[in-house]
Amino acid sequence: MKHLKTLGFFLILLFVAFACKPKESALLKVFVRSSSNQLMSGAKVVVIGDQQSNPPTLEFVDTSYTNSSGFTTVNMDQYFNTSGPENTTGYFDIVIKHNNKTATGYTRCRVHTTSVETIYLPN
């Protein structure tokens, strides 16, 4: 009987430990490369919600700059927190500006996941 109680307590403790696991953040990681495949630091990255997508993405704009490793990370939790729990996917245009060059990209982000995009600047 004593072993049964100990086993029951252990199972409840195990269940609680795995049920309380924090959820992952929704992240968008954007790598910017030159036409010769070099990672570009200091590039301006603008992420814009695509309201023409199906299903439509809500209004969203965020701007950041690539770090010395040539990428930036945009926390998409700010979008998913305002869009509501039933909206688990968003579609976003990405605009890159570096010196006098501009490039564009497109991505889909999902709640609690990391999306990765690589965008190449033209010659």
**Is residue 90 situated within a structural domain?**
yes
Asked if residue 4 belongs to a domain, the reply is no
CATH number at residue 46: 2.60.40.1120
Q: Beta 27-33 vs 114-120: how paired, if at all?
A: parallel
Structural domain tally of the chain? 1
Q: Is residue 59 part of a domain?
A: yes
User: pLDDT by residue (tens digit) across 104-115?
Assistant: 999 999 999 999
Per-residue pLDDT reduced to its tens digit, 6-46: 766 666 765 666 666 567 899 999 999 999 999 999 999 99
CB 57 within 8 A of CB 13: no
Q: Under a CB-based contact definition with an 8 Å cutoff, are residues 96 and 105 in contact?
A: yes
Q: Decide if 28 is inside a domain.
A: yes
pLDDT at 49 over 80: yes
pTM, 2 dp: 0.79
Q: What pLDDT is attached to residue 83?
A: 86
9 belongs to a structural domain? no
pLDDT at 105: 96
Q: Is residue 110 part of a domain?
A: yes
Domain carrying residue 52: 24-120
Going by the DSSP 8-state scheme, the letter that residue 89 receives in this structure is E
